[in-house]
Amino acid sequence: MKAAESLTCVFVECNWGKANTDLSERYGIGGYPTVLFCDSEGKPIAALGSREPADVVRQIRDAVQRINGNGAPAPAPAAAPQKTVYGLTIEKGATEARKAGKPLLVVFYDESPASTSVHAALSDDYLKDTLAKFVLALSPYRKGADDALRFDVTRAPTILVLNPRQEKMEQNPLAKIEGSRSARELKRDLESAMLLGTGEGAGPAKRPGVDSSSPPSEKGETLSDDEIERKFIKARIAASLELFKRGKKDKAVEALEDVIKSYPKHVETVTARKLLEEYRK
Amino acid sequence: MKMTLRILATLLALSTAAAAQDGGKLNWKGKEDPKAAMADAKRAGQPILLFFTSFG
C-alpha cells in the first residue's frame, strides 16, 4: 500500500487561534503551518521537518512505517525525532561560545509535539550552515526549574540566542524564539538574531555585505552623530523584529521602510534592507 | 501574504510528495470537523497527518 494512501490527512483550520483551539493547545501548536504525524489514537509521533518533496516522501514513509510497523499493531510512540541533536550544557556551551566568539544558542525542550518539531528543524540539513555560526546548548524544560527561572523561560520549546560575552547574558537575550518552528522559519529567526548579535559584539562575524571599519564606542564616550544614528537604526530593527514575531508584519515592514527612507545611505541600513527582503519572501 | 505562501508551499510539498509515490493520493478530511475525521481514523486504525494551518 502506498504510504500516503494509508494516512488520514486531517486539515485543521485554526483561524489565527480562533478555531480548533482545543486541538492547537493539545498539540502545542505555536505557528502555521505545522504538520504532525500521529498514530491512529492521535498520539504525535513526529513532525514534518523539511518541506522538500523528496524529504516529505521519506518522512511520510518513515512515519507510516514507524506507526504501523510491518502490519503489526502500532508500537508505543517514540517522542524522539529521527536524528539526534547534540548540544552542550548551558555552562559548557557558554564557555565554548566565549572561546569561539560565537553566540550561544540554548534550546529548552520537553516531550511536546512543538518541541519535536523544533528538534526536527534543528536536525534538518537546511540549518546546518546557520547552526555552525552558534554554539548549541540543550536544556530539558521543567516549569520552575533553576535554568527556566534564570532565563525566564515559561514554556517549551524556547530557543534563546545569547551573547556569552555579557556577564549576565540571561538578562539581555539577542533573541527569544518560542513555540514550533520549521527549519526555514528557524533559519530566518536565527539569521536575524545573528545580525543583531553582530552589532552587539556577540561574535566576530561581519554583517553580510558590509565591511564596517568604525571602531565601537566605549562607555562614557560622547557619541558622534553617526553612532547615534547607528543606535537608532539598530533599535528600529530590533523593534521591527519584535513586531514581526508578534504577527504584526505590516508594522514591522513600516519600521524598516522608515529606516530606509530616513537613512538611505547609512551603512546600517543594509541590515534593514536585507531584513525587509526576508519579510517579503 | 507570506504566511499564505508558506501554507501553499507546504500543501504543494505534501501533494508533490504523494504524487511522487507512484500516484499515491492525500485524502484530505476534517475541513468541517477535524475531530470527527480523527475519530474516523481511529476506527479505521489509520495513522493521521495533522495539518495545522490558518487561512482565516
| Pairing verdict, β A104-109 and A135-140 | parallel
A275 or A236, greater pLDDT: A275
The pLDDT of A80-109, averaged and rounded, is 80
At residue A206 the predicted structure's pLDDT band, cuts being 50, 70 and 90, is very low
At residue A113 the predicted structure's pLDDT band, cuts being 50, 70 and 90, is confident
Whether A11 and B55 lie within 8 Å, measured CB to CB = no
- Closest partner residue to B54 among A16, A35, A56, by Cβ? A16
pLDDT value of position A138: 86
pLDDT value of position A2: 60
Show residues of chain B in contact with A280, CB under 8 Å: 2
Whether A281 and B2 lie within 8 Å, measured CB to CB = yes
At residue A160 the predicted structure's pLDDT band, cuts being 50, 70 and 90, is very high
pLDDT value of position A278: 87
At residue A121 the predicted structure's pLDDT band, cuts being 50, 70 and 90, is confident
Whether A9 and B7 lie within 8 Å, measured CB to CB = no
Q: Indicate the domain borders of chain A.
A: 4-68, 223-281
Query: Which three cell numbers mark A243?
Result: 513586531
Whether B42 and A5 lie within 8 Å, measured CB to CB = no
Instruction: Report the CATH fold assignment for A223-281.
Output: Methane Monooxygenase Hydroxylase; Chain G, domain 1 (1.20.58)
Show residues of chain B in contact with A11, CB under 8 Å: 28-31, 34, 51, 53
Instruction: Find cell 510491518 and name the residue.
Output: A70
Whether A4 and B6 lie within 8 Å, measured CB to CB = no
- Interfacial A residues in 54-113 facing B (CB < 8 Å): 54, 56-57, 60, 63-64, 67-68, 74
Return left, alpha or beta for B7; rule: phi > 0 is left, psi -120 to 50 is alpha, else beta: alpha
Cα(A9)–Cα(B29) distance, integer angstroms: 6
Cα(B5)–Cα(A185) distance, integer angstroms: 13
Question: Percentage of chain A surpassing pLDDT 70?
Answer: 77
In a 3-state reduction of DSSP, which class is residue B7?
helix
Average pLDDT for chain A = 76
At residue A87 the predicted structure's pLDDT band, cuts being 50, 70 and 90, is confident
Contact (CB, 8 A) for A208 and A274: yes
Query: Which three cell numbers mark B45?
Result: 486504525
Show residues of chain A in contact with B26, CB under 8 Å: 4, 7, 9
A158 or B9, greater pLDDT: A158
Whether B25 and A37 lie within 8 Å, measured CB to CB = no
Whether A11 and B31 lie within 8 Å, measured CB to CB = yes
- Closest partner residue to B54 among A32, A53, A68, by Cβ? A32
Q: Is-above-0.90 flag for pTM?
A: no
Nearest CA in chain B to A114: B52
Whether A60 and B17 lie within 8 Å, measured CB to CB = yes
Nearest CA in chain B to A36: B50
The pLDDT of A216-241, averaged and rounded, is 65
| Pairing verdict, β A104-109 and A158-162 | antiparallel
- Interfacial A residues in 170-229 facing B (CB < 8 Å): 184
CB pairs under 8 A between A and B: 174
